[in-house]
Structure 1
Amino acid sequence: MNINLPNFNMKNLVKEAGSTISRVVQLTEEKLGTTERTEYDIHFQNLAERADLTKSWTEKLVRDTETVLIPNPQNRVEDYIFEKIEKSKPKRISNLEHLALDMIEAGGDFGQDMPYGQALIKVGQAEQKLGQCEHDFIATSGICFTQPLRKFLDGEMKTISKERGLLETKRLDLDACKNRLKKARSMLGQQAAERDLRVAQAEFDRQSEITKLLLDGISTSQASHLRHLHAFIQTQVRYYKQCGDVMDQLQRELAKMQPGKPRLRINSEDVDGPPSIISAQSCDSIPNDTALALDSDYGYDYDQQHDRDQDNEAGYQSIDIGPVKALTHLLEDFEIEFDTSAITTV
């Protein structure tokens, strides 16, 4: 019975096994410090160090950017798997969109004609727009920034790593040939060692030039990465502008729906509370500490130097508007009952 065995060259197999053993012996002796090794030139070492830094930092930048765009690690792993099997990523509803749907549904149950229900629907619709802006931002950022950088890592950097590994193999073969030449005792052995050394030196030089060319190409890649970075920043600027436009529009719509504030009476004059604009004549009859608070909190414009002199005469100190006072005014503007006694500042 005839058995078809795979075709292979036994001579090449033995030769390759011998080369592998020779490399292992050479590497072991180098680790033990019992033999010399061929060192790469300074230029090559600088290129190799820059390549290592580029690879390390690019991996971190891609990872950090994807963390910002998709905070959920499970979703990132899922997206990575779908990319590897070349299938479209699943459509997910973001937290903003979940909030939007609940607000719209709650507003409908509370009554679309009721102020609170109507406001909830308006806010929910705005949150939906923000969610869509977020989806667009994530997709565009991936196309213009993270995907090109990941492609660089999976393509060019892997090729460089492969060629550097091959160069190290050629370097071990070269040094092994040098050691065999030193140990050759017969004339015939020396001639064979010299012949192997010339072949190993030529292969090493050729692989060294190939690797240098690839390492030099990192400068061109970084110039391309710079363009991708500019594109990412433009995408971010557009995203935040879109979000700002949505919120400005929402604020205007809510302002139209908000009922008018009650009118306050200060020194026989009607003003819309809170008293953001008060005439100078009215301030004359307000105690200095109250006038200072109005000036600091609401930007009242009158002679600051005159008030400063009055403060010095009365022994008052300037008022520092901290987070507690800012929160107090915000709550007062919307007529919300509050107790700030438990609020502390850091």
Structure 2
Amino acid sequence: MNINLPNFNMKNLVKEAGSTISRVVQLTEEKLGTTERTEYDLHFQSLAERADVTKSWTEKIVRDTESVLIPNPQNRVEDFIFEKIDKSKPKRLSNLEHLALNMIEAGGDFGQDMPYGQALIKVGQAEQKLGQHEHDFIATSGICFTQPLRKFLEGEMKTISKERGILETKRLDLDACKNRVKKARSMLGQQAAERDLRVAQAEFDRQSEITKLLLDGISTSQASHLRHLHAFIQTQVRYYKQCGDVMEQLQRELAKMQPAKPRLRINSEDVDGPPSIASAHSFDSDTTSIALALAVESDHESDSDSAHLYRSIDIGQAKALTHLLEEFEIEFDTSAITTV
């Protein structure tokens, strides 16, 4: 029975193993401070630090934005898994939509012809609209903001990290070669070490240039991120405007459903009052009288049309005044009423 084994290049395998050991030794000696290391130039260090800061803050911004869009961490994990396996995300009802369905169902049970039932249905329908606007906002925000930033992290930043790792490996090889040159004693050994040093230096310089180009590209990426940020804000403004329009319309519809109330005018200030106040009130008094201007007017009447409805009523004891104000279901500072 013939078994075809892959062809191993033992020479390359031994060479790679030797390089790995050499790097480990070099790194250990650097940690112990017993050998010198090649330092990156200031410009490269500045680019590398900016890349680290960009990566860290971009990760936090993406994570925090997704937490705002999808507060439930379990749902975020589930969505992430579905993205990885290339399947569509499950359709979920938001908290607003759950509330909307419960309100509509409750309104039906309480009676669609009853004021409270009608109001519950109206509010439930408005909450449904808010829920749909929320779904649209989440989807649009993902497309215009979080997805491009996550793509940057998973693409460009990963490439930069990989190339920086390769560069660090080349630096260890270079410094190991430098140490071997210092330790070489025979002429033959020194020539071989110097040859390895020249090769290591060339590979290090080449990888350094590649890494610098990638680090410089972060400026271009941040310009793109700025455009994505503007798009996210525009989406947010549109979302809140849509929600505001829904709530204003709901408020107008609920106001139309409220019964009209007469009004009590005290010292030139209108106060809502109960329908029962439409009948005239009079109170006898044996002591101090207080002049109270009373007017009953419907919501559709103008001030000029209702001017003839004003009358002066004598109110005696504080008990009588309290009774009148209680009918209006208001609290009133009696010190504001002019005494006569």
> In structure 2, how many angstroms separate the alpha carbons of the residues matched to 1:79 and 1:320?
72
Deviations 1:268-309 (A, max 9, x none): 998655999999999999xxxxx9999999999999999xxx
> In structure 1, how many angstroms separate the alpha carbons of the residues matched to 2:159 and 2:170?
17
Question: Which stretch of structure 1 is more off in the superposition, 252-261 or 292-301?
Answer: 292-301
Q: 1:84 to 1:192 in 2, by over 3 A?
A: same
Deviation, 1:172, is 0.2
8 A Cα contact 2:82 2:88, kept in partner? yes
The two structures have a TM-score, normalised by structure 2, of 0.80
8 A Cα contact 1:324 1:343, kept in partner? no
Hey, what does 1:139 align to over in structure 2? 139
8 A Cα contact 1:126 1:247, kept in partner? yes
Query: Structure 1 regions of 5+ residues with no counterpart?
Result: 286-290, 307-315
8 A Cα contact 1:280 1:302, kept in partner? no
RMSD: 9.0
Matched, 1:327 2:321: yes
Deviations 1:151-194 (A, max 9, x none): 00000000000000000000000000000000000000010001
Alignment: residue pair count: 332
8 A Cα contact 1:171 1:204, kept in partner? yes
Q: 1:269 to 1:241 in 2, by over 3 A?
A: closer
Q: 1:10 to 1:226 in 2, by over 3 A?
A: same
Deviations 1:40-73 (A, max 9, x none): 0000000000000000000000000001011111
8 A Cα contact 1:67 1:73, kept in partner? yes
| Greater gyration radius | 2
Partner of 1:270, secondary structure, is strand
Q: 1:125 to 1:332 in 2, by over 3 A?
A: farther
Question: Following superposition, which runs of at least 4 residues in structure 1 exceed 3 angstroms of deviation?
Answer: 265-285, 291-306, 316-346
Partner of 2:271, secondary structure, is strand
Q: 1:301 to 1:260 in 2, by over 3 A?
A: closer
Deviations 1:72-119 (A, max 9, x none): 110111011111111111110011000100110111111111111111
> In structure 1, how many angstroms separate the alpha carbons of the residues matched to 2:230 and 2:12?
53
> In structure 2, how many angstroms separate the alpha carbons of the residues matched to 1:188 and 1:344?
118
Partner of 1:264, secondary structure, is strand
8 A Cα contact 2:265 2:294, kept in partner? no
Q: 1:317 to 1:183 in 2, by over 3 A?
A: farther
Q: 1:235 to 1:200 in 2, by over 3 A?
A: same
Partner of 2:295, secondary structure, is helix
Q: 1:109 to 1:57 in 2, by over 3 A?
A: same
